[in-house]
């Protein structure tokens, strides 16, 4: 899901009243804006459900705009009274002010790479030719005055002479595609508009494939988008003449459709899905004019993709009858599953493969930690790549004729570095290592296994300063996700380094619903097993408390998107467990999530309230918006969202905050921070990241009782 405020102009239904919450310890008073109730009653399976805040779903109304302004006025007034807010902002600015360089890649006559000098809001794309000095190719910081327009996909024609790139304005999932002449860096033709959830895949030098929906009626930020289509854009022609390749008929109606061309330009691969898991798979032989679509899979029972080909031999990555994934081969002329042959068989660990330089790289998760094996195209294992340490490795991808490849490595206390890899002998050298004002050697990460409510063993990595005293008084952020087959592997976050400098603990459990242990682990946290995810998260908090890492007075729970749902469900089920709750861009109204934008595609994980009485009852029993109760003291809560989030619309957060403010008892604050000109998170300018993170950390420590920072930053001595 994805304001700087002036005093709000209030309409009759949104007025400031003295709903005072006094924080006696801090001597800060909060006067919440009154949120008028306008009951809408839905009856599902004989049960009446009252929605008092349905009107907040209208993101185009003046009334909602005034409510947002009033809420932000209160929130930012509160945050401005936190005495060390500016110290946190200053320290975040210092630690993020380091040069970041992306790995290079060659297109045509040029080698490209991204670079950020430190506090640039958006990274810049540079290029070199031969031994020439790097020059700016694309600078997204110039796309808009406030740097809220970001660069998405950048893709080159086969000869590298033409580039197509997508931009996002204010964080929206809707994109525009620009076509540029590479040599002159001039725009070649009219901009393609209304593109969403799309790659850009070139066919030779002639044109490219992209995906989108018809523009919805009503608000483009919240209206439902249901029928995705794959288009082909021929260079030099207007967008209105672009041909629909797949998705234009009732039989081809799917919520997500993608298309990509194999490196040899032989095949167009088309995927079609009705949800975020499972896809149909088709190919089209581009070497034969007007060739028909060939079906590989006509059901959505698996996640299956073409990763590479050699002539008519296709290499597929699949979890069909292989929950941890495997690679199979099949001839394109007869590619149905009964003809598949195992190439890299399934193992007990989850596979995430890539190809480059004529090799396969099989990356496995072993208890969420990376292990990488290299194979040739005959299926022979060449070697295990000896990684720089215990953590997460990614990369190893590239074109078939590449002579060198690149990979990155990180863990929770080691900033991500990139390495140049020689695929012939398996050696590598450091390509780029960040120079960060952070002493990684002073911190440690340890993996533990704890027992969830039903006896399931769940891993968790806990990171903190070495020599930490286990006295139950350490400020701790417990971060989780637990859904959509997403795996949380060890990864350094520069912002979290600032938290740990303050003596903070950062704990990340690998909850069910994720992909750390394959499809079975994912399924165990979906639909009517979703409560397993919340139980795993609660048990993680209980483990940290029982082992004296922290206590309820010093525990914060944090998560975004599906993780925002996790926080919302946990804090409404166990408000006593934590001191602070930080639900970000959360899916919080589980009875209506599927009615917004592409939300219906999440039904694989959640189910919907329309599926059955049993599913409706189950969703209603944990839906955060529907489980805020009168007379409960909920933890200090800072809900965060953005006005241009068209992934998880901000109405989820609006309604949850309104329910909490109405029903909360006691003296803990319940605030909502609504970012303007931002979306679900991608492309957010660094300046906004710094401000938001300082507010979150400040709010958290402040409500744990810290009158000053536990470890105030030392003033830098000037030469």
Q: How many CB atoms lie within 10 A of CB 434?
A: 15
Closest CA to 90 of 709, 682, 672: 709
Q: Which residues 6+ apart lie within 8 Å of 427 measured at CB?
A: 421
> Can you tell me the distance from the alpha carbon of 694 to that of 698, in angstroms, rounded to the nearest whole number?
6
Contact 361, 377 (CB under 8 A): no
Question: Six-digit token pair at 236?
Answer: 């030099």
Contact 567, 637 (CB under 8 A): no
680 is catalytic: yes
Q: Cα–Cα distance between 300 and 304 in angstroms, integer?
A: 9
Residue 211 falls in the annotated catalytic set: no
Crossing angle for the helix pair 531-546 and 562-573, to the nearest 10 degrees: 70
Measured CA to CA, the distance from residue 595 to residue 649 in angstroms comes to: 10
Residue found by looking up tokens 């029928």 in the block: 227
What is the rounded end-to-end Cα distance, in angstroms, of the chain? 46
> What's the CA gap between 591 and 623, in Å, rounded?
7
Neighbours of 151 (CB within 10 A): 20
Residue pair 622/591 in contact by the 8 Å Cβ criterion: no
Tell me how far apart the alpha carbons of residues 23 and 703 are, in angstroms, rounded to a whole number: 9
Residues comprising the chain, all counted = 719
CA-wise closest residue to 564 among 466, 476, 713, 681: 681
Largest CA distance in the chain: 76
Dihedral of the alpha carbons of 676, 682, 685, 690, in degrees to the nearest 10: 90
Positive or negative torsion for Cα 135, 141, 144, 150: positive
Q: Which two tokens stand for residue 183?
A: 């040599």
What gap in Å lies between CA 513 and CA 521, rounded to an integer? Answer: 6
Q: CA torsion 220→223→226→229, rounded to 10°?
A: -10
- 3-class secondary-structure state, position 445: strand
Check: CB of residue 203 under 8 Å from CB of residue 165. Answer: no
The values of phi and psi at residue 655, to 5°, are -70, -40
**What is the rounded CA–CA span in Å between residue 371 and residue 361?**
10
The residue behind tokens 């997508």 is 166
Q: Which of 198, 201, 363, 561 is catalytic?
A: 561
By annotation, the residues acting in catalysis are: 561, 680
């Amino acid at each position: 899901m994805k304001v700087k405020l002036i005093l709000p102009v209030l309409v009759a239904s949104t007025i400031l009243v003295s709903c005072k919450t006094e924080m006696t310890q801090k001597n800060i008073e909060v006067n919440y804006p009154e949120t008028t109730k306008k009951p809408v009653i839905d009856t599902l399976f004989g049960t009446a459900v009252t929605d008092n805040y349905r009107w907040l779903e209208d993101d185009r109304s003046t009334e909602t705009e005034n409510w947002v302004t009033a809420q932000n006025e209160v929130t930012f007034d509160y945050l401005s009274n936190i005495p060390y807010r500016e110290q946190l902002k200053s320290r975040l600015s210092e630690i993020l002010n380091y040069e970041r360089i992306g790995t290079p890649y060659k297109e045509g006559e040029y080698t490209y790479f991204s670079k950020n000098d430190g506090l640039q809001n958006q990274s810049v794309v540079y290029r070199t030719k031969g031994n020439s000095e790097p020059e700016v190719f694309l600078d997204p910081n110039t796309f808009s005055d406030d740097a809220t327009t970001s660069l998405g996909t950048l893709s080159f024609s086969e000869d590298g002479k033409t580039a197509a790139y997508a931009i996002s304005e204010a964080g929206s999932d809707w994109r525009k595609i620009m076509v540029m002449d590479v040599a002159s860096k001039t725009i070649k033709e009219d901009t393609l508009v209304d593109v969403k959830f799309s790659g850009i895949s070139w066919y030779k030098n002639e044109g490219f494939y992209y995906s989108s929906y018809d523009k919805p009626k009503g608000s483009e930020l919240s209206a439902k988008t249901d029928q995705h289509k794959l288009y082909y854009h021929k260079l030099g022609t207007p967008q209105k003449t672009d041909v629909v390749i797949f998705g234009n008929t009732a039989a081809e109606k799917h919520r997500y459709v993608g298309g990509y061309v194999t490196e040899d330009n032989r095949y167009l691969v088309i995927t079609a899905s009705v949800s975020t898991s499972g896809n149909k798979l088709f190919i089209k032989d581009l070497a034969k004019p007007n060739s028909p679509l060939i079906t590989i899979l006509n059901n959505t029972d698996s996640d299956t993709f073409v990763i590479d080909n050699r002539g008519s031999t296709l290499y597929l990555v699949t979890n069909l009858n292989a929950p941890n994934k495997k690679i199979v081969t099949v001839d394109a002329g007869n590619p149905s599953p009964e003809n598949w042959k195992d190439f890299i068989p399934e193992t007990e660990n989850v596979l995430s493969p890539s190809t480059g330089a004529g090799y396969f790289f099989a990356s496995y998760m072993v208890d969420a930690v990376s292990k990488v094996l290299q194979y040739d195209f005959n299926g022979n294992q060449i070697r295990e790549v000896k990684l720089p340490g215990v953590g997460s490795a990614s990369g190893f991808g590239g074109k078939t004729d590449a002579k060198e490849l690149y990979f990155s490595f990180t863990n929770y206390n080691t900033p991500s570095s990139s390495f140049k890899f020689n695929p012939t002998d398996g050696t590598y050298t450091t390509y780029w290592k960040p120079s960060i004002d952070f002493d990684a050697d002073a911190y440690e990460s340890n993996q533990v296994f704890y027992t969830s409510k039903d006896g399931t063993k769940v891993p968790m990595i806990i990171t903190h300063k070495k020599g930490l005293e286990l006295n139950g008084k350490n400020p701790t952020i417990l971060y989780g996700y637990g859904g959509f087959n997403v795996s949380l592997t060890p990864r350094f976050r520069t912002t979290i380094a600032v938290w740990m400098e303050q003596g903070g603990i950062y704990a990340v459990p690998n909850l069910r619903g994720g992909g750390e242990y394959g499809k079975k682990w994912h399924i165990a946290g979906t639909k009517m097993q979703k409560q397993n995810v919340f139980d795993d998260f609660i048990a993680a908090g209980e483990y940290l408390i029982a082992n004296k890492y922290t206590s309820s007075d010093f525990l914060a729970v944090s998560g975004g998107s599906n993780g925002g749902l996790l926080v919302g469900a946990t804090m409404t089920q166990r408000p006593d467990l934590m001191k602070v709750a930080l639900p970000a861009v959360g899916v919080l109204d589980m009875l209506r999530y599927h009615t917004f934008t592409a939300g219906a595609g999440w039904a694989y994980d959640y189910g919907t309230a329309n599926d059955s009485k049993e599913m409706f009852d189950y969703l209603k029993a944990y839906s955060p918006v529907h489980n805020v109760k009168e007379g409960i003291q909920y933890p200090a809560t800072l809900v965060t969202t953005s006005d241009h989030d068209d992934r998880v619309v901000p109405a989820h957060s609006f309604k949850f905050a309104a329910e909490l403010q109405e029903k909360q008892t006691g003296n803990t604050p319940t605030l909502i921070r609504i970012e303007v000109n931002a979306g679900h998170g991608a492309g957010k300018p660094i300046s906004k990241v710094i401000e938001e993170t300082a507010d979150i950390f400040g709010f958290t420590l402040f409500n744990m009782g810290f009158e000053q920072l536990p470890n105030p930053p030392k003033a830098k001595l000037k030469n």
